[in-house]
Amino acid sequence: MEIYGLPPFPDYELLDSGDFKKLERFGLHLLSRPEPQAIWPCSLSESEWEKLAQATFTRKSDKQQAEDGAWKLKPQMPEQWFMSYPLGQHTLRFRLGLTSFKHVGIFPEQAENWNYLYEKLPQLKVPNPSVLNLFAYTGGASLAAKAAGADVVHVDSVKPVVSWARQNMEASKLENIRWTVEDALKFARKEAKREKIYQCIVLDPPAYGRGPDGEKWLLEQHLPQLLEACAQILDPKNHVFILNLYSMGFSALIAQNLCRHYFPFAQNIEFGELCVTDQAGRNLPLGIFSRFCSTP
C-alpha cells in the first residue's frame, strides 16, 4: 500500500489541522474548513486561526458529517478567485468559489492523480486516447487528461458544476472537452450498449448523491454496478484506470479488491491513501485510491 503526499503545488498549502478542522491557503487566500478526520489538537492557537483565516465555514449542524453551512468572510475576501497548478508544459487554472457545502471547487490532493494521468496517457499505444471522467466535478482530471493529448468525455450530474469545469478549461487555455450532464451509472451503461471503448476511465464517486433526474447514488450499493459497466468499456490492452473513494471507514484494500475483481486483466495495481502534510508534519488523510495502467 502506498501513501502519496501532495506534489509540488505552489498555490496550495495546509497550514494547520486539528480539532476537526483545517486551515488552508488557496492562492492568496486562507480558509478554515471542517475536517472530520483531523481529530488531533491544532498546532496554532485559536487566536492565530482567527487572525489568519480570511473565510471560515461553519456547519448548520453540530454533526461532524454534516457539510451544509455558511461562510463568514473578512473584509476584502472575494467569493471567487483563481489558483494555478503547473503540469508539465501546461498550467492548469481553477476558478474557486465558496459553496454552501464547504467545497471551493478543487481537491488539491488529487494533484497526484493528475500527474499520473499526464505521465501515463502518452505512454499508451493509442494516439489521442479516449478518457471518460465520471463524477468529474470541476474537471481537474479532465484538464490533466486533455493537457496530455487525450480526447476527454466529462460527465457530472450537476449542470452548474459542468459549466464551472468549462470555465476552468477555458482559463487553462485548453479546448474540445465533451461535456455531459447525466447520471454516471446510466451513462456508463449506455456506453456499454453502444460498445464504446475508452482507454482511460476515472471514477471519483461520492458516498451518496443525486442524478439530474433524481437518480439516487449510494456508494456501497451502486459502485459494484458501475464498475461492472466500466469493465465492459475499458480497453483491456491499452488502459489507465483510477478509482478514488472518500467514504470514511473504507480501506484502500477495498478499492484494490474491487479493481482485481472487475478488471481481471489489470496489471501493476497500485492502491493506498492520498494525504496532505501540515506545517507541523502531520499527514491528513483525504481519500483512498486504486489505479492501474497497461504500461509499467
Dump the DSSP string for 65-94: T---EEEEE-TT--SEEEEEEEETTEEEEE
Q: What is the pLDDT of residue 64?
A: 46
Which grid coordinates are listed for 294?
497497461
Q: What is the pLDDT of residue 67?
A: 60
Cα–Cα distance between 33 and 17 in angstroms, integer?
A: 10
| Residue-level pLDDT, tens digit, the chain, 296 residues | 899 999 999 999 999 999 999 999 999 999 999 999 999 999 999 999 999 999 999 987 655 445 678 999 999 999 999 999 999 999 999 999 999 989 999 999 999 999 999 999 999 999 999 999 999 999 999 999 999 999 999 999 999 999 999 999 999 999 999 999 999 999 999 999 999 999 999 999 998 888 888 888 889 999 999 999 999 999 999 999 999 998 667 899 999 999 999 999 999 899 999 999 999 999 999 999 999 999 98
Q: Does domain 81-293 have CATH number 3.40.50.150?
A: yes
Same fold, 2-78 and 81-293: no
SS3 of residue 253 by DSSP: helix
Q: Which CATH architecture has domain 2-78?
A: Sandwich (2.60)
- Domain spans, the chain: 2-78, 81-293
Cα–Cα distance between 136 and 219 in angstroms, integer?
A: 16
pLDDT > 70: percent of the chain: 97
CA–CA distance from 7 to each of 34, 86, 212, 239 (Å)? 23, 10, 34, 24
